[in-house]
Amino acid sequence: EAGVAQSPRYKIIEKRQSVAFWCNPISGHATLYWYQQILGQGPKLLIQFQNNGVVDDSQLPKDRFSAERLKGVDSTLKIQPAKLEDSAVYLCASSLGGRAFFGQGTRLTVV
Amino acid sequence: ILNVEQSPQSLHVQEGDSTNFTCSFPSSNFYALHWYRWETAKSPEALFVMTLNGDEKKKGRISATLNTKEGYSYLYIKGSQPEDSATYLCASEYTGGFKTIFGAGTRLFVKA
């Protein structure tokens, strides 16, 4: 079974630049999550999609972060403009109810 | 809004100590409870899934229990080791719409 695919694996950008991450969930998984884990802190759920609708985006900094899930399949997470404190691992997960399967994550460094 | 609470938020223990954390969840329409271990710079690893009231699962030094009537699960680690240092996430799954809600996690630090 193919897993959750994320790209890129690593990204280094300067502050105030924009960046986008891509997630391809496991085929048929209706639920998709984006997590942010800043080094030294616990993971934070940024947004949860059910198909292409948003279930929970209460912790998404909407002034600079946006996410979409077109056609209820792939998802992109964008940061515009990036700040130093956005340096973190961004992890995507998908589930069909049940156990969540996680991607390898994208490590973002903002300099 | 369904909310899954985990406590404590973080925990510092000495090597060899036994410890436990709590996951509290709404019990209405409950279907299953999942525990994951998330080490820094790695993808979360699935530990357990439990569905029945009174379920107990064990994997090495780690075990978990489930109380679906009162809506909580405990994760126990016996004889903590430095390699147990990680964030432990629980997620509660509900019937009707394949809804799974994650807690914020408990960060465990085990000092040698």
- A96-111 pLDDT per residue, tens: 877 788 898 999 999 9
Mean pLDDT per 10-residue section of chain A, whose length is 111 residues: 88 97 94 87 84 89 95 94 95 84 92 97
Does A93 contact B at CB distance below 8 Å? yes
pLDDT for residue B21: 95
pLDDT score of B101: 80
Q: What's residue B96's pLDDT? A: 67
Contacts of A99 in chain B (CB under 8 A): 34, 46, 49
Q: What is the pLDDT of residues B67-79, one digit of tens each?
A: 999 999 999 999 9
Nearest to A97 among B93, B102, B104 (CB): B93
Which residues 6+ apart lie within 8 Å of A33 measured at CB? A45, A47, A48, A49, A92, A93, A94, A95, A100, B102
Cβ distance B49 to A100 less than 8 Å, yes or no, reads: no
Q: Identity (one letter) of the amino acid at A50?
A: Q
How far is residue B77's CA from residue B61's CA, in Å, rounded to a whole number? Answer: 6
CA distance B73 to chain A (A): 16
Q: Is B36 on the interface with A (CB under 8 A)?
A: yes
| B86 Cα to chain A: minimum distance (Å) | 9
pLDDT over 60 (residue B97): no
Q: A31 and chain B: CB distance < 8 Å anywhere?
A: yes
CA distances from A103 to A31, A86, B22 (A): 14, 19, 26
Contact A98 B44 (CB under 8 A): no
Is pLDDT larger for residue B106 or for residue B1? B106
Instruction: Report the distance separating Cα A46 and Cα A36, nearest Å.
Output: 7
pLDDT of the residue at B104: 85
Per residue, the 3-state secondary structure of chain B, as one string, reads CCCCEEECCEEEEECCCCEEEEEECCCCCEEEEEEEEECCCCCCEEEEEECCCCCEEEECCEEEEEECCCCEEEEEECCCCHHHCEEEEEEEEECCCCEEEECCCEEEEEEC
- Which of chain A's residues have a Cβ under 8 Å away from the Cβ of B90? none
State yes or no: pLDDT of B59 exceeds 60. Answer: yes
> A1 to chain B nearest CA, in Å?
16
What average pLDDT does range B6-34 have in this prediction?
A: 94
User: pLDDT over 90 for what percent of chain A?
Assistant: 67
Q: Which amino acid is at B44?
A: P
CA distance A108 to A9: 9
Give the pLDDT score at B85: 95
pLDDT of residue A55: 86
Residue A65 touches partner B, C-beta closer than 8 Å: no
